Amino acid sequence: MKAGIPTEYLKKKIGFLNCKIDLSKKTFIPRIETEYWVRKAIKEIKKELKDKNKKIKVLDVFAGSGCIGIAILKSIGNSLVDFNDIDKRAIAQIKTNLKLNEISSKRYRVHKSSFFERLKGRRYDFIFANPPYIAKQRVKEVESSVLKYEPNIALFSGKKGIYHIKRFLKEAKNFLKKNGIIYLEFDPDQKEEIKHILKKNKYQHFRFFKDQFRKHRWVKIIYKTQKT
């Protein structure tokens, strides 16, 4: 790290699964914990996909650099991905990374949108979400280089860090196909609160998983009651 600048920004490009991810727009730096669970999710999807020719529709929301959706596009040949982010820097970065990884423009769409506002009427087989989830009341615990250089819009989510997750889970079921699946990353301390939010929004089938550091980091949610 030079003068506090994250090494990933100095290098401008990093690897994420089987992808090259450009960070020249200073979008949120992908974490190894995210890479860990996305790898597992992709492996699971490929294993359970009965019809290898059927197109599966995926949403990468709070997409940032686009690393999750691009990893899916490169790993699952019959996937179509919509990328969604509110930050104009992220939109530019996603488009750069799609070109860098030579993804056909027929396989993706990029939307500058808050939550689901520009996705009305669309339904997905899978939604991947890595939202902001740091509590503002815990700002003193965040590394100074993260606060100074990484986009705050990708970090903080209200006083308790749960605003984006709460709103996302309230709306997400309306954008899933029958038996659609959500993969959601969160802070380990938020597990019980998220369980409460899931039950409140009538998500009955979910399971929490730990990352490589043995901390609860993501939840898999199957929404079985959504109509086609």
Scanning the chain, the segments in alpha helix (DSSP H) are 7-11, 32-48, 67-75, 88-100, 144-149, 163-172, 191-200
| 122 phi/psi in degrees, rounded to 5 | -95, 145
CATH number, domain of 22, equals: 3.40.50.150
| Total structural domains within the chain | 1
Compute the chain's Rg from CA coordinates: 17
Task: Report pLDDT for 3.
Answer: 54
Identify which of 90, 40, 44 has the alpha carbon closest to the alpha carbon of residue 67. Answer: 90
- 1 domain residue, yes or no: no
- 206 domain residue, yes or no: yes
Instruction: Identify whether the C-beta of residue 43 lies closer than 8 Å to the C-beta of residue 29.
Output: no
Task: Report pLDDT for 135.
Answer: 82
What pTM, to 2 d.p., does this model score?
0.93
Instruction: Identify whether the C-beta of residue 25 lies closer than 8 Å to the C-beta of residue 91.
Output: no
Q: What is the token pair recorded at 134?
A: 């740091």
Q: Which residues contact 114 (CB under 8 A, 6 or more apart)?
A: 86
- 99 domain residue, yes or no: yes
In the block, residue with structure tokens 């609860």: 216
Instruction: Identify whether the C-beta of residue 129 lies closer than 8 Å to the C-beta of residue 181.
Output: no
Instruction: Identify whether the C-beta of residue 212 lies closer than 8 Å to the C-beta of residue 33.
Output: yes
CA distance 228 to 225: 9
Separation in Å, CA 202 to CA 1, 141, 183, 189, 205? 45, 34, 16, 22, 9
Q: What is the token pair recorded at 35?
A: 């890479």
- 89 domain residue, yes or no: yes
Cα–Cα–Cα angle for 77, 81, 85, nearest 5°? Answer: 150
Identify which of 127, 122, 137, 8 has the alpha carbon closest to the alpha carbon of residue 65. Answer: 8
Task: Report pLDDT for 77.
Answer: 92
Block mean pLDDT (10 aa), the chain, length 228: 76 93 95 97 91 89 97 96 96 97 97 92 96 86 86 86 95 94 96 96 95 97 71
- 134 domain residue, yes or no: yes
- 2 domain residue, yes or no: no
Quote the domain boundaries for residue 57: 7-223
- 55 domain residue, yes or no: yes
Instruction: Identify whether the C-beta of residue 110 lies closer than 8 Å to the C-beta of residue 118.
Output: no
The strand pairing partners of 129, in sequence order, are 61, 184
Task: Report pLDDT for 226.
Answer: 46
CA distance 191 to 197: 10
